[in-house]
Structure 1
Amino acid sequence: MATSATSTSRRGGTSALPDDDQTLRELGYPRQLARRVNAFGNFAISATIINFISGVMTALSFAMVSGGPRIMVFGWLGVGLLVLFVGAAMAEITSGFPTSAALYYWSAKLAKRHNAGWSWFTGWLNFIGQIGGTAATDFALANFAVALATLQWPSFHPDAKGILAIYGGILLVHALLNTYTVGLVALLNKISVAWLLAGGLVITFYLIVFPSHHTTTSYAFTHFVNGTGFKSGLYAGMIGLLFTSWTFTGFDASAHMSEETTHAAVSAPKGIVRAIVFSWAAGLVLILALTYSMTQYDKESKANVPAAEIFVDALGHTTAKIFLLVICGAIFFCGLANMTSNSRQIFAFSRDGAIPGGQLWRSVSKRTHTPVKSVWFAATGAFLLGVPSLWNTVAFQAIVSVNVIGLFGSYGVPIFLRLRRGDDFTPGPWSLGRWSRPVATVAVVWIALSSILFLLPQSSPITLKSFNYAPVALAVVLLIATVWWFVTARRTYRGPISYGTPEELAAMEADL
């Protein structure tokens, strides 16, 4: 198998697009997954997971007390730009290594030494981040579904157990769809982009045109709120950046879908960058429409679902219910795509022997040619992450932090290792050229700073109910990974497995 320094040189030196299956064989894997995703479909899954409607609406309750409109608008602009640097750096690496293994594979091939160790911890960070993404999205959908039901039936007020049961039901539906209707899932990922664009435009148009009263431009752009309980406004504003960071997660899905994408060495990196740019622009318009419509800020910020209260105050109950239905649809698509991406990471990581019971999780359904058992692994893990909501009032923010830190941490490691490679790194057909190293440097610095920031307490006073348990969840997973590494894995895990020469793998595919 070719090394990281040379594996992309032959492909990168030609203007013709590389053969997808031959590229995969050169990376050490046989083709097992069906290539049914085109360039638009690859973009669509990342755009669906980023999901500017879902991200903005679900994290609104957090943003309105941690900085308010000022952080929502300018934080979106600043953090969105920094995330674009992260995405571009990842896209370049994706082009060189278009495999579902993605991040942990990149780390193994880019590290100068201790390759297996870098790969191991990158994979586990990505694993917990992916689980957190699935959990946060479907938990948010449960809360929005309750808000919609409460508007329709005012007597409907489920307790924490009821919301957890609804959350479990949503995970079950997403797992069943990923198990039995794989073709439908691919179609829904494409439909979701139109849903996002149309839904965002309609909500924005109504919020701009129909309310009888709007806030002033100064208020919509610069009003600052510190409702965290901490005295420092700077601290409140900094943790409020989680509002934007939570939205811009999951674009590694384009990389995880590489083995199911045609012309993956170009389509996957373009999918990452296009998804970020699309969501950045569309999300800003939606945020401005919301900040101009926050006419009863104190009441709206204290609501269980602030978006629902803003819609009711600005447009009335009927329109609010319609818009909540649109948002629920967007979040549903997001959760479905999250679980798809999550299962592919579990499949790839298990294929390389890094998850207990890997023989089970890496199996592929002969009917659908997808890793069905990994889907149920993802659903179960996400449900367990939501259980603390029974006693913790900031469980959603904690799950979001797990998602952001886990994912961005796994993004940062291979980008950092790529920087260490310097000129020894040869990109694939999609490259940043002379901007490669500056972009990667900015990406690594932002990831390091934001990861520290989002582990900090998010509300005061700090009690059992308000404690940010993200550090605990991350510590437990990393402790398991560390203990397992030193006890046994460092002797058995050698990083991504090469299953044979390209010729041997081609013969193997004929028997699959």
Structure 2
Amino acid sequence: MSEKAAIEPAAQVSHIDAVAAQEAIEDQRIKSEQERSGGALQRYINAPSAINFSFLLQCSWEAAAVTFQFSLSNGGPASIAYGSIFAGIGTTLVALSLAEMASMDPTVGAQYRWSAAFAPKWNRFFGLMQGWITVFAWICSCTSNPALISNIIVGLATFNNSDYVPQRWHSTLIMWALTLFPFIGNFWLPKFINPLETAGAVCHVVFFFASIITLAAMADKSSVEYVFHTLTNDVSGWTNPAVAWGLGLLTVTYPLTGFDGVLHMSDEVKRARIRVPRSMIFSVVVNSIMQFLFMITLLFTIGDVDRVSASALPIIEVYFQATGSRAATNLFVFMLLFIIFVSFFNVFASVSRLLWAFSRDDGLPFSHVFAKVHPRLKMPVNALCLIALVYLEHV
């Protein structure tokens, strides 16, 4: 028994060493290719940072907390409760599939490179189409970070100052200002990614438990009938129950996407074949569980639904009804803002690397410009600038 126990760790270490040796050979080949096409990135992301990158990028329960009002009028509590389960299972299955691919070929281009590699024919066509779809989708979907933060800031301003009248241009200016932080911060990402990821991950977990405990202990409780059997299909105009339930499913599904963001950082993750797949699986599984538990707690402690629905940002009203304290409410909502803000750094880095990789493969106009890596910063500076401009135009 002791001999077997001693052999198993040794075999595991041997396997890891073999993977590391294989990666070293591939790194040298990829580095030579990249140097000819504009420069190479530097591997600096260790195991904890790789795990935290996807874990924090999703920030699922926070994103669901500040958008759950859309599900209240489309599908209602039943859509949120059961939808959280379906979304968690579905995204986990997708993550397992992508993790398997990442363990074989951890490439920055990810899906579009795999489409080009494994398509039975017309490889370049399918790779190009997948690349455009992936790049465009990531740029559009990830503008949700500044949008969510802007909504939180406006909501807090309204909550703390009854005389404040929000204007649409207020949100636009806030989103523009927010975009500057991850853009500038990404130039020094290797220097502060470890403490930044650690701080964000700690807050992600600590305030999850703090929120659940506070709401469960202090808020008035909803009935089981309301949480699991209330299907809303007569508020938003969508009268078909199936359509309303499906629309409500979006609120609890989109926060669980983005777990593949760490794939776009593959050239900067040490031992990417091992750490990237583990990061994806850990992130989607844990975030799915956290989101489900938070949404169930939220539904059971939602309080006066009419007051919540009428609020500028309903999660503020939920916390305020539970605690009765403006200070506590501001603290909880500010932490939602902070975690989503830190996640924005990860999103920005991930999208810029994806665009850089697609340019390196000649997928974009003026690809030779955006495929360059700054020789000193070891960053795709031109790709970062393009992403920032697109974000500013998009908002």
TM-score by length of 2: 0.89
Question: Compared with structure 1, are the counterparts of its residues 198 and 147 closer, same or farther at alpha carbon in structure 2 (3 Å cutoff)?
Answer: same
Alpha carbons of 1:93 and 1:340: their partners in 2 closer, same or farther (altered >3 Å)?
same
Change (3 A) 1:25 1:99: farther
Of the three residues 225, 248, 254, the one matched with 1:240 is 248
CA deviations over 1:216-238 (Å, ceiling 9, x no partner): 23322332222221211111001
Of stretches 270-279 and 243-252 in structure 1, the one that deviates more from structure 2 is 243-252
Q: 1:140-190: per-residue Cα shift (whole Å, max 9, x none)?
A: 111101112222333333300111010111011121111245422443123
8 Å Cα contact 1:24/1:30 also seen in 2: no
Return the offset for 1:306.
1.2
Q: Give the equivalent residue in structure 2 for 1:477.
A: none
Q: Matched residues, percent identical?
A: 22
**Which residue of structure 2 aligns with residue 217 of structure 1?**
224
Displacement, 1:339? 0.6
Counterpart residue identity of residue 62, structure 1? F
Match of 2:92 in 1: 84
* Structure 1 position 383 matched with structure 2 position 392: yes
Q: Give distance in 1, aligned partners of 2:33 and 2:150.
A: 39
- Corresponding residue for residue 356 of structure 1: 365
Which residue pairs with 1:125 in the alignment?
Answer: 133
> Is the 1:53–1:330 contact (alpha carbons within 8 Å) kept by the matching residues of 2?
no
Query: What displacement does 1:359 show?
Result: 2.1
Quick check: 2:51–2:283 contact (8 Å CA) kept in 1? yes
Q: Which of 316, 320, 325 is residue 334 of structure 2 equivalent to?
A: 325
From 19, 22, 25, the counterpart of 2:25: 22
Provide the residue aligned with 2:56 in structure 1: 48
Q: Where does 1:278-293 land on structure 2 (aligned, <5 Å)? A: 278-293=286-301
Aligned to 2:349: 340
Asked if residue 60 in structure 1 is aligned to residue 73 in structure 2, the reply is no
Report 1:335-484 matches (<5 A): 335-386=344-395
Equivalent position amino acid for 1:325 in 2: F
1:39-61 deviations in whole A, cap 9, x for unaligned?
A: 22112111112112332123212
List alignment gaps of at least 5 residues for structure 1. Answer: 1-12, 387-512
**1:187 aligned residue (195, 208, 211):** 195
Which protein is richer in helix relative to its size? 2
Contact 2:77–2:229, Cα closer than 8 Å, also in 1: yes
Residue 123 of structure 1 deviates from its aligned partner by: 0.9
Letter in 2 for 1:332: F
Match of 1:453 in 2: none
Q: Distance in 2 between matches of 1:83 and 1:42?
A: 19
Deviations 1:302-327 (A, max 9, x none): 32311112112222222211111110
Q: How far apart, in 2, do the equivalents of 1:296 and 1:119 lie?
A: 51
Look up the equivalent residue of 1:145 and give its one-letter code.
Answer: I
Question: Which whole-Å CA distance do the structure 2 matches of 1:90 and 1:125 have between them?
Answer: 17
- Cα deviation digits, residues 289-311 of structure 1 (max 9, x gap): 21111121123123231111211
Choose the corresponding residue for 1:38, options 40, 46, 49.
Answer: 46
Q: Runs of 4 or more off by more than 3 Å in structure 1? A: 24-31
Distance 1:223 1:276 in 2: 27
Give the Å deviation of 1:134. 2.3
Matched, 1:143 2:145: no
1:345 Cα deviation after fit: 0.3
Residue ranges of structure 2 left out of the alignment (5+ in a row)? 1-13
Q: Distance in 2 between matches of 1:17 and 1:273?
A: 19
* Residues 1:104 and 2:128 aligned together: no
The structural deviation recorded for 1:379 is: 2.0
1:29 positional shift:
4.0
Q: What's the offset of the Cα at 1:30?
A: 4.1
Relative to 1, partners in 2 of residues 1:47 and 1:219: Cα closer, same or farther, differing over 3 Å?
Answer: same
Alignment of 1:308-319 (within 5 A): 308-316=316-324, 317-319=326-328
Provide the C-alpha distance between the structure 1 equivalents of 2:392 and 2:250, rounded to a whole number of angstroms.
22
1:78-111 per-residue CA deviation (whole Å, 9 max, x = no partner) reads 1210111101000111111112121211111111
Contact persistence 1:40–1:271 (CA under 8 A): no
Q: Map 1:230-309 to 2 at 5 A.
A: 230-309=238-317
Q: What count of residue pairs does the alignment treat as equivalent?
A: 373
Greater shift after overlay, 183-192 or 68-77? 183-192
Q: CA RMSD in A?
A: 1.9
CA contact (8 A) 1:215 1:295 kept: yes
What is the distance in 1 between the residues matched to 2:374 and 2:94?
A: 34
* In structure 2, C-alpha distance between the alignment counterparts of 1:228 and 1:177, rounded to whole Å: 40
Q: Residue 139 and residue 270 in structure 1: after superposition, are their counterparts in 2 closer, same or farther (change >3 A)? A: same
Shift of residue 26 of structure 1?
5.4
- TM-superposed CA distance for 1:365, in Å, is 2.2
SS in 1 for 2:43: coil
Question: Are 1:169 and 2:167 an aligned pair?
Answer: no
2: CA distance between counterparts of 1:368 and 1:200?
36
Letter in 1 for 2:381: V
